[in-house]
Amino acid sequence: MFKLMLICLAPVLPVMAQQKKIVRVEAEYDSASVAELYSTTRIGLKVKYADSSERRTAGLLGGDIRWNQVTVETPHGEVRNGVLQFSRNAARPDNYLLRLQVTFTDQPGKRWESGLQLPYLTGIRFRHYADSLKRGVHFYLNVEGVYNSGRIYPLDTARIRFTANHGQIIGQDLLIPATDTITREIRVTAVYRGDGAMGIETVIPVKQLPDDESLIKTESDVLQGTQKKKKRRQ
């Protein structure tokens, strides 16, 4: 009877020895996925053990833990095969820190919590392509977003709302009629749609003098100038 018990337990002992104690799970996202603008990114998990060893998930981190062995749940979105789809609006109240609940198939009944800090907008700024606005010509309102990741990206009207005290906002362009001879400057406000408290203003001068066309040389002017130079050298 004693020998029979040893035979039955022998295959179990190596399995039990392989289940090392997990002390924490760390998560990170793919910085190349531009999570500043998009709501989909690959993620990876680092599993830290009590003996100071570490394992990683496959895919982004190139580890040996397959994603069919892991379940990740979050109130801010869902994770499938190492790809996170998240709701930016849902994550905003938590300062874009996603709460992850992680379980492993080889350790049923146990759950580990991990936080995943996503990049977020810290400020917006105007970056004009021209010093002044010409009457009757569309002026592009270029706004850049500065993120805590250190990256800067242009923002469009899906994220920015524009208003102006003169002229007309057309999409992301500012336009005043060519017949408007009164307006000297236009004050434009840009507000981030995700946070009404994040807004900026700029004052754009309206060009008063017409372009000096006398400075623009025609093809004949250029040819005449070249011929004159040749004669001088002779």
pLDDT tens sequence across 169-183: 999 999 999 999 899
Q: What pLDDT does residue 6 have?
A: 42
The per-residue pLDDT for range 54-84, each reduced to its tens digit, is: 999 999 999 999 999 999 999 999 999 999 9
List phi, psi (to 5°) of 210: -70, 160
User: Per-residue pLDDT for 16 more than 80?
Assistant: no
**Could you report the per-residue pLDDT of 114-159, keeping only the tens digit for each?**
999 999 999 999 999 999 999 999 999 999 999 999 999 999 999 9
Query: Which residues are within 8 A (CB) of 220 and not within 5 positions of it... i.e. 6 or more apart?
Result: none
Residue 48 has a CB neighbour count (10 Å cut-off) of: 16
Question: What local confidence, expressed as pLDDT, does residue 225 receive?
Answer: 58
Model-level pTM? 0.74
Confidence of residue 213 (pLDDT cuts 50, 70, 90): very low
**Average pLDDT score, the chain:** 87
Give the amino acid at 26: E
Cα R_g (the chain), whole angstroms: 31
> By percentage, how much of the chain surpasses pLDDT 70?
82
Q: Which domains does the chain have, with CATH numbers?
A: 19-117 (2.60.40), 121-205 (2.60.40)
pLDDT at 15: 47
Whether the per-residue pLDDT at 14 is higher than 60: the answer is no
Neighbours of 132 (CB within 10 A): 12
Q: CB-hemisphere CA count at 13 Å for 129?
A: 10
| CA–CA distance, 174 with 125 (Å, rounded to integer) | 17
Residue 77 gets the label, from left (phi > 0), alpha (psi -120 to 50) or beta, of left
- Please name every residue paired with 170 in a beta bridge, in sequence order, or none if there are none: 173
Q: Cα separation of 73 and 84, whole Å?
A: 10
Average pLDDT of the residues in 202-214: 76
Which two tokens mark 157? Answer: 């009207």
Q: Residue 216: helix, strand or coil by DSSP?
A: coil
Q: What's the CA gap between 93 and 27, in Å, rounded?
A: 20
* Res 164 pLDDT > 60: yes
Indicate if the pLDDT at residue 31 is higher than 50.
yes
pLDDT at 230: 55
